[in-house]
Chain A
Amino acid sequence: DILMTQSPLSLPVTPGEPASISCRSSQRLLDGNGNIYLNWYFQKPGKSPQALIYLGSNRASGVPDRFSGSGSGTDFTLKISRVEVEDVGIYYCMQAQQVPITFGQGTRLEIK
């Protein structure tokens, strides 16, 4: 199984400041077509998760452009250029390179 490790697990951020979450996979995430099957999700308290980023760096429909995904191989990053209060919640990375699909432990973003 591919192990996904996120850091930090808790991230206090001042509104307007940037934030960055790291996700490391235990195996390279890259298929023969050059696709990186790494997604990011956001879950507000008490709500269903929602898609943020797919294939490593593509924003899902409706996601603000302050969110960006990058990375390759085994190291990936989700960046928020300017955190807003509505960004409070838990962020998960997920690999869909192979089954079983696996998630990171989640990073809790909170406002300072």
Chain B
Amino acid sequence: EVQLVESGGGLVKPGGSLRVSCEVSGLNFNDAWVTWVRQAPGKGLEWVGLIRSNTDGGTTDYAAPVEGRFTISKDDSENTVYLQMNSLEAEDTAIYYCRPVVVISLTHYDYWGPGTLVTVSS
């Protein structure tokens, strides 16, 4: 059974930093592409960024609003993906979901974490 445990959300002042984590179990972490998606209160889904699998180079891409402020990394030994958020703004207030995807025999397995709430406010 796949389990995703997200942690690290909370209240932070504008300009501050926060790191959220997503610990993954029950799937082959080395083969997973992990995406972060956020959802502001009452709004739709917004892609934040992704980290490719080790097999595909482990590279990252980011959405324009967070480029240069957010960094995605992973610790393979801990099966954990991190989203480091710096220079936070009120507009970054949202639930942050991690979404690992693995492809096994052409079937896509697309999982979403429970989400962690990040509130940016003075």
Contacts and interface: CB of A to CB of B under 8 A. Distances in A.
B97 A101 contact: no
A54 B45 contact: no
Interface stretch (B13-21, B23-31, B69-77, B108-116): B108-116
Nearest to B108: A54
**Chief secondary structure at chain A's binding surface:** strand
B109 A61 contact: yes
A76 interface: no
Interface string A12-46: 00000000000000000000000000010101000
A7 interface: no
A93 B110 CA distance: 14
A101 B112 contact: no
Contacts of B37: 49
Contacts of A49: 37, 45, 97, 112
B68 to A, nearest CB: 14
B47 A102 contact: yes
Contact of A41 (B45, B107, B115): B45
Interface string A51-65: 100110010110000
B110 A60 contact: yes
